[in-house]
Amino acid sequence: MTTIQTNQLSITELSSVMQAFEHEGASVRASLRSLLQDKETIAAALLLSLSFLKGQALDRVTIEELSRVEPARFNQNLIDFQMRCSIDGGAMNMGVAVLQERNSQEVCQLLNRLLVYKDFGLNRLCILRSAELIEDTPEIQNYLPRLLSPEIGGSFVDLQAGAITTLLTVLYVFRGRRKYLINVPHIVQYLEQENTLRRNPILRDLMVTVQM
């Protein structure tokens, strides 16, 4: 595992990073409605932020590895990525699936496919979806309880707007870092100084699901 070496930010570096987060944060908030329908971008934001926490203990859970779900031809991007974690000397391989589709029939079909997540070598599956979307698509109540049952062992995390806004901002700052004349260690150091990721409700809830 490659460790990103960070040092205390200088005043100039801090100013540049803060400017990047302020600018990209405003942009994300302005377009949040459309971004919440973008599964790939949300998954990318989650994956990036989790990668910055790799190797660190968070609520007794340490992320050891993040990777795609294989075989890809069967997964077809349904499960966005998998997290191999260690906890209390044990191991857990959890799949993460962002499910923000609005069409009820499509959502039910996807949930039905997710019931066989263990065929991918996963111990657990966590679905991330906005709570209000569940209320707007009552048909999924026929599928969600079964997925979350002890027999299947799935879990659910609410894709809270405020928390995902923070993670999307991190993603866009990362993608636009050269524009702001900053680098990855600058971003990581700023996130650590502000404790941005470790206190993010979505990331913390993901760690809780690993322990269930």
- Per residue in 26-81, pLDDT (tens digit) is 999 999 999 999 999 999 999 999 999 999 998 889 999 999 999 999 998 899 99
- 4, pLDDT greater than 60: no
Map out the domains of the chain as residue ranges.
11-211
- Per residue in 7-25, pLDDT (tens digit) is 688 888 888 999 999 999 9
In angstroms, the Cα distances linking 153 to 117, 156, 166 are: 10, 10, 29
What band does 1 get if pLDDT is binned at 50, 70 and 90? very low
What is the pLDDT at residue 50? 97
Q: How far is CA 61 from the centre of its chain?
A: 15
pTM above 0.75, yes or no: yes
For residue 102, the 8-state DSSP code is -
- 5, pLDDT greater than 50: no
- 107, pLDDT greater than 70: yes
Pair type for strands 124-129 and 57-58: unpaired
* Residue carrying structure tokens 């974690």: 85
Q: What is the mean pLDDT of residues 199-208?
A: 94
